[in-house]
Amino acid sequence: MKKTFLWMTAFILGVSGSLMTSGCSAQPQAESSPTNSVLASSLRALFRDYLDNPNLSDFEREVITRAIETGGITQEDYEEGFRRYISCMVDAGYVETYEKRPDGIYQLTPPQKVNTGEQSGVEAYMEQGTNCADGTVMRIEALYNDQLNNPGLLADSRELAVECLIRSGKATVDYTPEQFEKDFAAGFTNTAIDPTDPQVKQCMASAGFAYAGKEG
């Protein structure tokens, strides 16, 4: 089960009425990362790993270099990356709506014309979104989200979600990443976890998962 960029989660949520989704993170992940493995030895080490990517834009390289010097990505730098992404999408003819989650990460809602469009239109929108996010917000958001929501730099996104669910009292202490994966795939049927609960949704979103089933 791979972790997703939060902006791509929003794409899929908006164009698929009752889908639960996970995708892939900015750095390649194993399909199911070993429990207790970490992305890097420290946040600065993770930033340095990203600098090895030859596909970084000048903007991304500046932000990540600054983060290495200061110890973290600022909200301002994340906001600038998101602004550049939105500007790119507007130039391409897509006007999205968005809201800021409590942790400061934006969640997107696709334009209505995409929600009701043909599959080819959905695919074109997602391709454009990928193109606009690459070099602007994609990698910056992945790092910023880890900085905010993954202090242990857990590589297994299931483990990160479970840790949050247990900490917030939404799951029992014996709840496992493997059980979370099964429950997620089954739409959280036959489980005490309510995927429409705001705190549950926040825990999943911070780990790169999102529920798009019907509320209530």
**Each residue's pLDDT tens digit, 164-206:** 999 999 999 999 999 999 999 898 998 999 998 999 988 998 8
Token code pair at residue 121? 């239109």
Residue with more model confidence, 161 or 27:
161
Residue 125 CB coordination number (10 Å) = 24
Amino acid symbol at 181: E
Confidence of residue 213 (pLDDT cuts 50, 70, 90): low
- In sequence order, what are the beta bridge partners of 99? 107
* pTM of the predicted structure, to 2 decimals: 0.79
Confidence of residue 59 (pLDDT cuts 50, 70, 90): very high
CA distance 95 to 103: 24
CA distance 120 to 128: 12
Residue 90 has pLDDT above 90, yes or no: yes
End-to-end CA distance of the chain: 26
Confidence of residue 38 (pLDDT cuts 50, 70, 90): very high
CA distance 206 to 154: 12
CA distance 87 to 105: 17
The reported pLDDT for the residue numbered 112 is 78
* Ramachandran class of 53: left when φ > 0, alpha when ψ lies in -120 to 50, beta otherwise: beta
The reported pLDDT for the residue numbered 111 is 85
CA distances 76 to 5, 81, 107, 165, Å, are 19, 9, 17, 29
Whats the size of the chain, residue-wise?
216
Residue 18 has pLDDT above 70, yes or no: no
SS3 100: strand
The reported pLDDT for the residue numbered 210 is 73
The reported pLDDT for the residue numbered 120 is 73
